[in-house]
């Protein structure tokens, strides 16, 4: 079984992002970048399938600037076998990413595609579902448990009311939620090995996909600041303030 | 052209997130229609037609729609979309699952988590866990939108919309099969629509210790939530999680207990009207946004608070 994972390079989740003063976006110069945390979970799940003898090859795909190769190397160090990098400086919106992934999948023909449920930069939560729609494949979004069998899989999904289980015929799309697994730290030997794994560099034009953004960002602003309040000294004082000052109890 | 809202419903009841979505839809166009799709949902349709501002309710019933799979809902949305300027769903796990699939089939770039409508084609949405707000303009002929429900008030009642049946048959599940649902059953209000929320974090120490929060919540008629750390540690189930990638809430009162205040958690609750933080660490970031902070041992403070509120 071949598994394809999609990995996105984003501002590290620990960084406090700053809006640029010209309101065109957020500050990315000299900011630590990492693999999107949900995509790490996707890679980890693929590697576990390989370790369990259920998958025999893991292909990682990333799209964007040259440094996305670092993100692919991170996936390799975790256990992915090879990479495809669609090199572009252009802004890629989820629909364009889904179309490019579809074109790659038409060539690679994986049995299972695992993506993060959302990227922590644009917080769109769209690409996996869009890709499933374009391919006409079943989708198991927000997965917290995955049980891959022969030709089908069972997926447990985190939904607002609790958990939902679906059975999907493969090929299928899975998007990861936080509880699916805990991604490993790459070992030093594996980081060294990752340097020798192959990356196939492509361009959006190679796939004949129109990547022009459909959404125009008019401005990016800071949200209204929430001012901190006061510290109270006792439970009685807290209750008094909630009752008489805030009027919420 | 009218705006189509996809109703979210469960066990024969219209979910309240739909009401907030109707309010958002009214800001996008003059006339709002609601699609109720599923099986045996006449009760939901009755509830939807009484929502203030709804001009028409479309009902699509079919066996294939019963479990609200994205695979069967998306083709139905695609079929109806050409009659509408916007198709709008709440940004719940239901809406997030279904709408992007339909958007791809329509060749539309969806706009997620809209929190303000500037004009029929221009919207404000949070990015980077709400640490920035992007104003985006769509060039697609039909706009597909998920709505951040806490940003819009719930539509009231008093409407009397026409109900029309539409053909819901024929969609293939494309290899997806519903197996089952384990829903958390609780007498307490739902997190996303509760007036008061009591939330616990890693500082709770165990799942059993959440009982002191439940006692406080019951005194206040509150819902119980949690930070990611508490869910990851297995203290409470996933549906308790408040944050960037969990539920976004904006109650009148949010009481954060033993929660340090990671930006991912703040992203899910910082629009609450009044925030109370109870934490033993006076340097915890949660105090920077709390209206009222109380430093101390939560295991002493919470029961005291429960008692004091009863008085």
Mean pLDDT, residues A161-188 taken together? 97
Which B residues 25-84 touch A at CB under 8 Å?
A: 69-71, 74
Cis preceding-peptide flag for A213 (omega within 30 of 0): no
ipTM summary value: 0.96
Other C-beta atoms closer than 10 Å to the C-beta of B56 total: 17
* Strand B196-200 with A172-176, pairing: unpaired
pLDDT value at A204 more than 80: yes
Cα B260 from Cα A95, distance rounded (Å): 36
Chain A hits for B110, Cβ within 8 Å: 94-95, 124, 126, 130
CB contact under 8 A, B288 and A16: no
Q: Which residue has the higher pLDDT, B5 or B185?
A: B5
* Cβ pairs A/B, distance under 8 A: 260
pTM higher than 0.90 for the full model? Answer: yes
pLDDT of amino acid A226: 87
E strands, B91-239, are 111-114, 116-119, 122-127, 132-138, 143-147, 162-166, 176-183, 196-200, 223-226
Average per-residue pLDDT for chain A? 97
B97–A242 C-beta distance less than 8 A: no
Note whether A133 contacts B: Cβ–Cβ < 8 A. yes
CA distances to A10, A92, A112, B116 from A42, rounded to whole Å, are 15, 20, 11, 32
Give domain A2-246's CATH architecture. Answer: 3-Layer(aba) Sandwich (3.40)
Q: Report the pLDDT averaged over residues A125-144.
A: 98
Tell me the mean pLDDT in the region A26-51.
97
Nearest C-alpha of chain A: how many angstroms from B228?
9
The shortest CB-CB distance from A179 to any of B137, B232, B288 is to B232
Per-window interface: A 58-117 vs B, CB < 8 A: 93-95, 98, 117
Q: What backbone torsions phi and psi does residue A4 show, to the nearest 5 degrees?
A: -115, 135
Question: Does residue B24 contact residue B152 with C-beta atoms inside 8 Å?
Answer: yes
Measured CA to CA, the distance from residue B130 to residue B149 in angstroms comes to 15
Contact B277, B197 (CB under 8 A): no
Among A142, A170, A216, whose Cβ lies nearest the Cβ of B136? Answer: A216
Q: Does B218 touch chain A (CB under 8 A)?
A: no
A64 membership: H or E segment, kind and range = strand A57-64
Kindly report the backbone phi and psi dihedral angles of residue A159, in degrees, each rounded to the nearest multiple of 5, phi listed first. Answer: -115, 170
Question: Between the CA atoms of A185, A190, A196 and A199, what dihedral angle is there, to the nearest 10 degrees?
Answer: -30
Please give the residue of chain A at the shortest CA–CA distance from B262.
A14
Q: Exposure of B149 by Cβ count < 10 A (0-12 exposed, 13-18 middle, 19+ buried)? A: buried
Parallel, antiparallel, or unpaired: how do β-strands A199-202 and B3-6 relate? Answer: unpaired
Q: How far is CA B302 from the centre of its chain?
A: 28
The confidence score (pLDDT) of residue B159 equals 94
For B127, which of A16, A121, A170 is closest by C-beta distance?
A121
pLDDT of res. A227: 85
Name the minimum distance, in Å, from the CA of A193 to any CA of chain B.
32
Contacts of B174 (CB under 8 A, 6+ apart): A136, A137, A138, B71
pLDDT of residue A89: 96
Q: Where are chain A's structural domains?
A: 2-246
């Amino acid at each position: 079984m071949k598994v394809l994972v999609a990995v996105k390079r984003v501002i590290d989740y620990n960084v406090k992002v700053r809006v640029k003063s010209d309101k065109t976006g957020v500050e990315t110069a000299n900011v630590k970048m990492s693999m999107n945390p949900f995509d790490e979970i996707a890679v980890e799940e693929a590697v576990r399938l390989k370790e369990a003898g259920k998958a025999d090859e893991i292909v990682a795909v990333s799209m964007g600037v040259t440094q996305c190769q670092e993100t692919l190397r991170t996936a390799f160090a975790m256990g992915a076998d090879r990479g495809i990098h669609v090199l572009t400086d252009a802004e890629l919106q989820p629909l364009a990413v889904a179309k490019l992934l579809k074109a790659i999948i038409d060539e690679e023909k994986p049995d299972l595609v695992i993506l993060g449920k959302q990227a922590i930069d644009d917080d769109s939560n769209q690409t996996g579902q869009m890709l499933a729609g374009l391919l006409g494949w079943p989708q198991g979004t927000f997965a917290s448990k995955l049980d891959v069998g022969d030709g089908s899989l069972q997926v447990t999904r985190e939904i607002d009311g609790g958990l939902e289980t679906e059975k999907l015929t493969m090929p299928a799309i899975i998007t990861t939620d936080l509880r699916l697994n805990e991604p490993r730290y790459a070992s030093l030997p594996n980081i060294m090995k990752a340097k020798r794994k192959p990356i196939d560099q492509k361009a959006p034009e190679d796939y004949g996909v129109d990547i022009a953004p459909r959404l125009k960002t008019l401005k990016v602003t800071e949200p209204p600041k929430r001012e901190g309040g006061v510290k109270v000294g006792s439970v009685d004082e807290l209750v008094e303030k909630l009752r008489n000052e805030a009027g919420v109890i | 052209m009218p705006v189509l809202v996809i109703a979210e419903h469960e066990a024969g009841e219209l979910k309240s997130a739909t009401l907030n979505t109707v309010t958002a839809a009214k800001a996008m166009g003059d006339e709002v229609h609601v699609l109720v799709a599923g099986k045996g949902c006449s009760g939901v349709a009755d509830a939807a037609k009484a929502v203030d501002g709804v001009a028409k309710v479309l009902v699509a019933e079919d066996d294939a729609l019963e479990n609200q799979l994205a695979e069967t809902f998306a083709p139905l949305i695609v079929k109806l979309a050409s009659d509408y300027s916007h198709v709008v769903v709440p940004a719940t796990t239901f809406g997030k699952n279904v709408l992007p699939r339909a958007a791809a089939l329509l060749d539309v770039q969806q706009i997620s988590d809209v929190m303000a409508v500037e004009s029929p084609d221009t919207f404000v949405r949070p990015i980077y866990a709400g640490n920035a707000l992007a104003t985006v303009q769509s060039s697609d002929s039909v706009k597909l939108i998920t709505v951040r429900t806490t940003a819009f008030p719930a539509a009231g009642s008093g409407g009397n919309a026409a109900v029309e049946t539409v053909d819901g048959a024929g969609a293939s599940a494309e290899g997806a099969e519903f197996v089952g649902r384990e829903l958390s059953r609780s007498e307490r209000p739902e997190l996303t629509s509760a007036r008061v929320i009591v939330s616990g974090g890693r500082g709770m120490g165990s799942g059993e210790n959440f009982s002191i929060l439940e006692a406080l919540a019951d005194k206040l008629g509150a819902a119980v939530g949690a930070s990611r750390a508490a869910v990851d540690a297995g203290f409470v189930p996933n549906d308790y999680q408040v944050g960037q990638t969990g539920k976004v809430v904006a109650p009148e009162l949010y009481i954060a207990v033993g929660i340090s205040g990671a930006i991912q958690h703040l992203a899910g609750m910082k629009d609450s009207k009044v925030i109370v933080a109870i934490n033993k660490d006076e340097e915890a970031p949660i105090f920077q946004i709390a209206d009222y902070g109380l430093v101390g041992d939560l295991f002493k403070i919470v029961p005291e608070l429960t008692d004091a509120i009863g008085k």
